[in-house]
Structure 1
Amino acid sequence: MKLLMITAIEAFEEDIKFLLKKCTITHFSYTDVKGHRDLSEESVGENWFASDMNESQSIIFYAFVPKEKAENLFNSVKKFNDEQRTSSKVHAVLMNIEKSN
């Protein structure tokens, strides 16, 4: 069993649900979160927001899944990201579970 976590901007919520369903991951949890990016190190010309701190409406999904389903999801997320025209991407991570009950 693995812990799968997916983060993205809130606009991708329905897309992520579709990817999970396509990969037969039917049990998951999700919640809204605030994404944060510190832009204080970027030059003013590269910083479109003209401020040091940028927050965005984001979402995080998590699920306990078998490794095989996680691999399928990673492939689907890569394909989804490759097709996006936005700079924002879906990020997925997979963590080992040492113990559970």
Structure 2
Amino acid sequence: MKLLLITAVAEFENEVKQILKKAQVKTFSYREVTGYRNTSEDAIESNWFGTEMNENESILFYAFVENDKVDDVFNGIDEFNAKQETLSHIHSAIINIEKSN
């Protein structure tokens, strides 16, 4: 079993849910979070917002996932990200679970 973490901008909520559904991940949790991006190292000309810290409405999904479903989730995310014309993508990570009840 693995702990799956997925972050994305709030606009991608339905797409993440569809990816999980297609991968047959039937139980998950999610919550709204505020994402931050420090743009202090970006050139001023490329910084649209004119400040060093940008906040985004984001979402965080987390689920305990069977090992055989992990690749399906990652493949779905890769397919979605490949089609994006924006800089924003869905990000994911897996954490191994040594023991759980």
> 2:56 — aligned with what?
56
Distance 1:87 1:65 in 2: 28
TM-aligned CA deviation for residue 78 of structure 1? 0.1
> 1:80 — aligned with what?
80
The 5 Å alignment of 1:19-34 reads 19-34=19-34
**SS class of match (1:70):** helix
Distance 1:64 1:13 in 2: 18
TM normalised by structure 2 equals 0.97
In the alignment, structure 2 segments of 5+ residues that lack a partner are: none
Q: Percent identity?
A: 49
- How many pairs were matched up? 101
Distance 2:13 2:71 in 1: 20
**SS class of match (2:94):** strand
In the alignment, structure 1 segments of 5+ residues that lack a partner are: none
2:71 corresponds to 1:71: yes
Distance 2:85 2:50 in 1: 23
